Structures are given as structure tokens and as C-alpha cells.
Amino acid sequence: MTSDSLRFRRILLKLSGEALKGSLPSGIDTQVLAYLAAEIDAVRSLGVEVAVVVGGGNIFRGRSAGEKGISRVTADYMGMLATVINALALQDFLEERGIPTRVQTAIEMREVAEPYIRRRAIRHLEKGRVVIFAGGTGNPYFTTDTAAALRAAEIKADALLKATKVDGVYEADPAFHKDAAKFDTLDYLEVLNRGLKVMDSTAVSLCMENHIPIIIFNINQAGNLQKIVTGHKVGTLVGREKYE
């Protein structure tokens, strides 16, 4: 397969912390990390430049802690630190496969990761390195979804791919509403007006302003990531373009 057959040449993959815990009640499932590393390796081998934003909910969820007595600002910073743990774990599994990987954090901690520098991140991508963005935006009150949209805009990603446990966006939660219809495509404003739980509104608005398509897909189905970058119809596409 040549690079000419790729639909997306630079992607931002958003992984939730919950995705990393697998079937565990909390923490990191190393089998999930190995699987994710293989999926990323498969698209990188096609010539796709891959950046990743990871959440931290498998270790510490800032918003929940903020509701239980810890101040929201402190809780959010604690959640940002959790994302660094996840990023380092994913980096280790990627490098075990021989994939050069860099972790950049919005909160400086030079002993374990590079500080986030946009131009350096883009240079890493151009050299074929996977770049993992940790620490959210570096600011409280912003989710890692917003961090993903922000980084996607900054590195000029062709698409933001949000990995989930379901195969797209439904009009209602399919776990509770078996007859809920799935959307193949949605416009940004439709997502915002309907209040659909795709990403938070700030993230969707950022993508809309920067014309970045969002694809919500099931990461647990092997090969989905590769299908997306090669132009196959997978999950739900949020944006101005439509699936053919």
C-alpha cells in the first residue's frame, strides 16, 4: 500500500484512561497496552504519522474527586499527573516493538518526558516517531478531550480519532436502549445542538473552527484503526464531509 492510498496521513488518536484498564477495576492492563501498541504499529507501518493523547481516568478522575471534597483545581492537576503515568506505560510498550516514541507533557517534568513544544512535536512526527501528549492542556477545568482537539489543531492533524468501546455515536445509550439508531455522519453543530456525548462541547467547537473531522470508533475491534486511515467507513464521522 502506498501513501497515496491513505485517507489520513497524520492522525491524533484520543485514548481514554478507561480503555487502558481493560477488564481491571482500575490501573493499567498490560495486555491492553500490548494490543494498542500493535494497532498503532500497523498504521505507522503504512506511513501514517501518529500522535496520541491519553486520559487518566483509570488512575484518578479529577472531576469525580472534585465532587468529593478535593478542590477542583487540585483534583484536575492530580488527573493530569495520572495521564503522564499512562503515557509512559504506553511509550514503553511501543518502544518494545521497536517504535521510536516521545512523551511530551504540558506540565514540565524533564526527568521523564519532554516539555510540550509544538515545533518539536511536529518534527518528531515527520521523522516517524509516535508522539504521546500527556498532562492534558496543562490547565485545570479542561478535559483531555479538549487537549486532544487542541493538539490536533496545533500539529495540523488530518483527523481526530476518538477510541471508545462502542462502534460509533447513537441517539441514546445502546447499553440501555437496544433499538437506538446509530449515526453514520453528523455535523459539528448537530452534535452540539443535540447534546450528544461525543466529546465535550469545547473540543467539538475547536475541531469545528479548525475543520478537523472527528471519528468515533470501537478501538477493541482489531484493524479498525487501519481501516480508518485507508478510507473505510468505520464508526461515526463528525464533520462537514460525509462518508461515501
Contact yes or no for 90/33 (Cβ under 8 A): yes
Phi-psi map region of 151: left, alpha, beta (phi>0 left; psi -120 to 50 alpha): alpha
Contact yes or no for 188/241 (Cβ under 8 A): no
What percentage of residues in the chain have a pLDDT greater than 70? 94
Round to whole Å and give the CA distance between 87 and 24: 18
Q: What are phi and psi of 215, to 5 degrees?
A: -120, 120
Please tell me whether residue 159 adopts helix, strand or coil conformation. strand
Please tell me whether residue 103 adopts helix, strand or coil conformation. strand
Global confidence as pTM: 0.93
Task: Quote the pLDDT of residue 233.
Answer: 93
Round to whole Å and give the CA distance between 215 and 213: 7
Q: Are strands 159-164 and 10-15 parallel, antiparallel or unpaired?
A: parallel
Round to whole Å and give the CA distance between 2 and 47: 8
Q: Could you report the average pLDDT of every consecutive run of 10 residues in the chain (244 residues)? A: 78 95 91 97 97 94 71 92 97 97 96 97 98 97 96 98 93 84 93 90 96 96 96 93 59
Contact yes or no for 6/46 (Cβ under 8 A): yes
Task: Quote the pLDDT of residue 69.
Answer: 80
Summarize pLDDT for 64-90 with one digit per residue, the tens: 665 678 898 999 999 999 999 999 999
Question: What dihedral do alpha carbons 86, 149, 166, 24 form, nearest 10°?
Answer: 10
Task: Quote the pLDDT of residue 173.
Answer: 81
Contact yes or no for 162/18 (Cβ under 8 A): no
Give the other-Cβ count within 10 Å of 222's Cβ: 11
Task: Quote the pLDDT of residue 1.
Answer: 52
Give the other-Cβ count within 10 Å of 23's Cβ: 7
Round to whole Å and give the CA distance between 106 and 98: 25
